[in-house]
Amino acid sequence: MPYPGGSATTTGIRYQNWFLALQIAYSFFETNRIIFPEAFTDEVNIIDDIKIVHERQTTYFNVKHRSPANNLHWNQSQLNSQSIVKHFKDQHEADENAQIVFVSECNCYLFTEVFHRAKNARTPVDIEKALQSQRCIDFWYEAMDAFGYDDFKLLALAKKVKMRSIPLFEIKKLIEHRFTALGNHKAVANLFYERGSECSADKTRIDKEDINRWLIEDGIHFK
């Protein structure tokens, strides 16, 4: 069923739709996992690339193919210029229980290292000890300035943010791998990409019933 809203994007749309296909592959093996590609935006939903609701847990995926930086790394400047800082902050403040996942072929030291280390801190007092290195500490203070947060608020955000740094070819292989034992793994991957792209364009939610129907309509049967 179509739902209102959604944002049109051209940059990295193929990458985003292949990552959507991977999420569809995950949902085939789960129950009650609903995917909202190009999710509508309102006072609660800020990040609109992909939203997933599963067992009362909401996860937002911000998908960016590559960093615009020459070194293909997401530094503070790119996070600001691409509105990632703003969207993460707004999303966290709109729903503090939601998980936020940044997906890109390029790595981001702030998310994969600094935030990851900070999660070991029980309180703001423990943050510098958890960060371990001066470089991480410097990045932490830069992030505090960028987000406009104190230690306590940034730690709360860090505990909700994850990153998946994954190249396009690996996304395809991960989809195929999940279905290798069942057969027709390449056909399944292509089907999920095509149908996912259609749902993204039409802003249509996806659940397990939809996935099963697609497989039947495409004549794909498993061993």
Among 62, 53, 59, smallest CA distance to 9 is for: 62
Q: Which residues contact 201 (CB under 8 A, 6 or more apart)?
A: 38
pLDDT (tens, 9 = 90+) of the chain, 223 residues, equals 454 444 435 658 999 999 999 999 999 999 899 999 998 999 999 999 999 999 999 999 999 999 999 999 999 999 999 999 999 999 999 999 999 999 999 999 999 999 999 999 999 899 999 999 999 999 999 999 999 999 999 999 999 999 999 999 999 999 999 998 888 899 999 999 999 999 999 999 999 999 999 999 999 988 6
Q: What is residue 8's predicted lDDT score, i.e. its pLDDT?
A: 37
Q: What is residue 5's predicted lDDT score, i.e. its pLDDT?
A: 43
Among 75, 70, 66, 46, smallest CA distance to 58 is for: 46
E-strand spans in 75-218?
A: 99-104, 161-165
DSSP 183: S
Q: What is residue 159's predicted lDDT score, i.e. its pLDDT?
A: 97
* Angle CA 191–58–173, to nearest 5: 30
Structure token digits, residue 115: 């935030």
Q: What is residue 31's predicted lDDT score, i.e. its pLDDT?
A: 87
Q: What is residue 105's predicted lDDT score, i.e. its pLDDT?
A: 96
C-alpha to C-alpha distances, 122 to 113, 142, 189, nearest whole angstrom: 17, 21, 41
